[in-house]
Structure 1
């Protein structure tokens, strides 16, 4: 049973604030009944998200990792999954080279597992959600969701800015790339900086389907400035469906060694060592679900096909690159960095990159990405520059510092 201490502290806080409001000569907007309702909604959400663990691991970065029986994770609250268990691994795409990124072993990619701790077989590691996490969100209902925004490359929405490579005009059944991991500075808690793969289908007018995975720095979501491995999905252009990680019934995790939402370690350094991770998203040709592979062959889990309408078939666009949120503090462009915080022209060991860009075709073959296009919403703030060679295949550098002499 959960401790009653937080509830006692909360009611004491209510009494103190109510007393201060009574004694104040100015009009107060404090509403105890409304605050109590909000607190109850927070507690109800935490009970829904945080499942009883078989084992708990304390991470050096302050996270609590719960080892939850795989069939009790949040995904199985969904009516179409209730009473079921995670599926067995599907056939992987032909042509897949099971090698990961550079600079680290798959077993040593996240801080929580660096001490040698692990979750038992039959469980999945889940980052525990706290009251503070939920209260940082704009509302309890919006917790764990991206703001609704436009993904279309010829426009930005709600301050979202991109520097990306993409391909469209064909049928895509998956995408793969390696990307290096950095710790960009995020200037405001309401902003984020991420680097990811998008698998996209549908129109941009309200029924957009996306599947996303990569790394992000999001102080509002996680309470710190660490780069974290994440997933996302939506079937209605970020309006009411979908969420990050395991914060709603959606993504089904199958792996007991990778915690979605946990901090990645090590990271790349400017003019120093480079650390990248390999990500693959592809559609199981037999069952139709979309699977996620991390590193050199760790299957993280899958998005059930029934979550989507358009992606129940195939993707019409794949996209790779960076995204930030610009809230324009003080009326000028944010100083939130994308990638390494350096422009694309600085190249290897300085700028962020995506390399070995590939897609999965209709016959479950992994092939080089054809017709790569590059675009940046505001190239004076965040740029992109690409190429191709025998070692890296199709690749591009991207990123930038945000506010600068060139960007204001």
Structure 2
């Protein structure tokens, strides 16, 4: 039992005692911890544990992944998305009304990647797999408010911002209703714990100001978010340029997952090796012409779930830009450019088996048809650090090689 007799007998201190008592009893914190932790640390832990209770939902089964993750099988209508007032009391949709015309569910991957946790069995029907978030995950973030969120800016426009650097192919100037591509998966080195390296496609609308809407999916290495250097399948969304809305994966009310076989945020295995076998994933995002929601497909036709259209402003209608490529954060913490790698960590000139690629890059048009990119443009923020090159052939359609090592003789 914890005694509060050392506090002054005022109402405010009594309330503090009651609050601390409830936390210690519910969480079974040992008595000696309560006597030595500073008050600010206690307040921080209260906030962290309250947040964890919000995002870690009760599970019917937990799977210990060989890579260290705990995967909770959560009843589908209890996932974080249904904390949203507009979804409370509802259940997930069964699936999209239709997939884009020209879609080939087999995808003809070079080698398709998997997630190690699923080798031990999938979650039961009616549940979805959610990577459990731990106290350590939250405490690695710069603040609880920023946990699970990108730091501006996560989209390439005209200038680098917040240390973000990109090497992307993009199309704009039309109405887009989705995008699809295959990308090979690597394990780029991230040299600062607050940096990341990712490869993804972006579906974008808005003015690149506070009204920017994006939907993003691909793979990323983020030591801050996940606590390791594994590449992980991830999603992101925002409707106000990464300020107060949106998050990674299922860390807030956003994407509604419907799949019991793929865990968003879980590690991808196997990965590509330099001058060796190449492993890639297929990602497709598209706006369902009937329900208006933005659906996500991963791998060989696995429907993952959807972002409800009401989450967005501009994307309730369509996208105005689509991007494919890589992004890193250059924190400059040592006074010079980071050595964090993008893609394979090698420049695009090295080609297949050595450089990272996107292939079969396509967009979805107003008629829900997949079309090759037309008049695409390339942009590398610092080509001496990370570069990009494009090509086209009958087997790969429109493709790019991209990436680089970061700091080198030409990148200081």
* Distance of aligned partners of 1:350 and 1:4 in 2 relative to their CA distance in 1, 3 Å threshold: farther
The answer to whether the 8 A contact 2:111-2:278 is kept is no
Q: Offset at 1:153? A: 2.8
Q: Offset at 1:88? A: 1.9
Which residue is 2:115 aligned to?
110
CA distance, structure 2, for counterparts of residue 259 and residue 12 of structure 1: 38
Matched, 1:94 2:101: yes
1:8-407 equivalences under 5 Å are: 8=29, 12-13=32-33, 15-16=35-36, 32-90=38-96, 91-100=98-107, 102-105=109-112, 109-114=114-119, 116-149=120-153, 151-407=155-411
CA distance, structure 1, for counterparts of residue 24 and residue 227 of structure 2: 23
Which residue is 1:26 aligned to?
none
The answer to whether the 8 A contact 2:157-2:208 is kept is no
CA distance, structure 2, for counterparts of residue 151 and residue 3 of structure 1: 43
CA distance, structure 2, for counterparts of residue 229 and residue 380 of structure 1: 28
* Distance of aligned partners of 1:225 and 1:258 in 2 relative to their CA distance in 1, 3 Å threshold: same
Classify the secondary structure of the residue corresponding to 1:166.
strand
Classify the secondary structure of the residue corresponding to 1:188.
coil
CA distance, structure 2, for counterparts of residue 254 and residue 100 of structure 1: 21
**Gap runs ≥5 in structure 2:** 1-22
Q: Offset at 1:3? A: 10
Q: Offset at 1:148? A: 2.2
The answer to whether the 8 A contact 1:151-1:157 is kept is no
Instruction: Calculate the TM-score normalised by the size of structure 2.
Output: 0.92
* Distance of aligned partners of 1:327 and 1:98 in 2 relative to their CA distance in 1, 3 Å threshold: same
The answer to whether the 8 A contact 2:326-2:342 is kept is yes
CA distance, structure 2, for counterparts of residue 4 and residue 336 of structure 1: 44
CA distance, structure 1, for counterparts of residue 261 and residue 34 of structure 2: 42
The answer to whether the 8 A contact 2:277-2:353 is kept is yes
Instruction: Calculate the TM-score normalised by the size of structure 1.
Output: 0.93
Deviations 1:32-72 (A, max 9, x none): 22221111110111000000001000001110000000000
CA distance, structure 2, for counterparts of residue 123 and residue 77 of structure 1: 16
Is 96-105 or 69-78 further displaced after alignment?
96-105
Classify the secondary structure of the residue corresponding to 2:359.
strand
